[in-house]
Amino acid sequence: MQAIGVLTSGGDAPGMNAAVRAVAKIGAARGVRVVGIDDGYDGLIERRFRELAAPGRVDPAIERISAVGGTVLGSARCARFREPDGRQRAAASLDGMGLVVIGGDGSLTGAHLLAREHGVRFVGIPASIDNDIGCTASALGVDTALNTIVDACDRIGDTASSHRRAFVVEVMGRRSGYLAMAGAVAVGADGVLLPEHGRSEAAVVEAVEKLIRKGFEGGKRRVLVLKAEGVEVPCTRLVRLVEEKLTGVEVRATVLGHLVRGGAPTYHDRMIANRLSLAAVDGLLAGATDEMVAWLPTVRGGTETTDPYVRRFPMEHVLEETRALLEGTSVVTKWRLGLLERVEGVLPL
């Protein structure tokens, strides 16, 4: 293999740039060209390429991008890629290059189709702040997002305690409540609302109202509830309905939204970006294809790499486990929810 293309796709995540830089550096050290593909699959179809590295040389412009959030290569939705003709054009643009795809479930599914339909050789790197990708304990961006949530909730807690208020803080997590769950434990929240619970609006309102009432009756000066955006009750509506049931209590809504996606990546996200990139590039050059590299795998199997913390898994297996993760049938989802149930009585104390 003489050249490798690298693209970022789907929602941006802190650590993507660190992975792009690492792919370029490792490729140059291994004696291959590395081409950056702008704007995801849209850029691949249009051949919007830029040279990132040549054998023994790396573009100085990417040397410091590891400290930058988002993705310097850009990301874009691409309706054309969903059609067979669009994927054919994308495969033709590669002209035999290997491909590293950095992204989430949708991005990796797209690369899987390129491999199956057109024989494109690719290895994926998981990047999703929602931590909703199968086989891997963490994806790029998760640690940074959680640190942002912790910082925001700590600040909210300061003002909440000063005024004896309750706050419902919504964080990202459309299909997965991982950020809300892990964030709630980290900040010592009084409760957490997850899409995996499948509660009705009435049940959610009742649970939050009881939690706030119990907290203030027990002498607390602040009550904090984290809510994943996938819980289908808008944050402001939830607060309004809860306030109607309470008297003499102020409840506030805060939606962190895209704030959670931004910012410089943490040490952990930069570190795993480099280690996953090494396994991805070396895997491609060794003949691997249609696989994803996983950090501290959550399932058995896969292919060993030189890094004991990283294994490669067939994309078909990854996508199957991802579906199970989101449907709640994965042992990982069941373990996460079971762990939360065990600490549910501890959080409000």
Tell me, yes or no, if 130 is annotated catalytic. Answer: yes
> Alpha-carbon distance 63 to 70, whole Å?
16
Q: Indicate which residue of 42, 130, 143, 190 is catalytic.
A: 130
Q: Which residues are catalytic?
A: 130
